[in-house]
Amino acid sequence: MVGKLLLGAGTLALVVSAATAAPPVDNIDANHHPNLAAAQRLVTQAYGKISAAQSANESDMQGHAAKAKDLLEQVNVELKAAAEAANHH
């Protein structure tokens, strides 16, 4: 019973975090970091394609699409952090 409650709470947390998180944005200067900016554009495109798939399937795909979008949001944050770190060197 406790395991089911924990699983339910984890799923709810994932759904809430996916619903409140902002989609990735392109905010790396391509003139200074062309490769990181290109990677960020691909992340943004992938996020859009997953959103389109969710709409087309009228389904959350058992949470996997939402999880993928969450991971892409994290990737976007890390790419921006990498660009900022490179600016300091």
Structure tokens at 36: 């990181």
User: Would you give per-residue pLDDT tens digits along the chain (89 residues)?
Assistant: 545 544 555 554 544 454 556 899 999 999 999 999 999 999 999 999 999 999 998 877 899 999 999 999 999 999 999 999 999 97
What was the pLDDT predicted at 78?
A: 97
DSSP for 18-81 reads HHHSPPP---S-TTT-HHHHHHHHHHHHHHHHHHHHHHHHTS-GGGHHHHHHHHHHHHHHHHHH
CA–CA separation, 21 and 57 (whole Å): 21
Per-residue pLDDT, 89: 79
Q: What is the pLDDT of residue 86?
A: 96
Domain locations along the chain: 2-87
- Whole-structure pTM value: 0.73
Rounded Cα distance, 21 and 27, in Å: 17
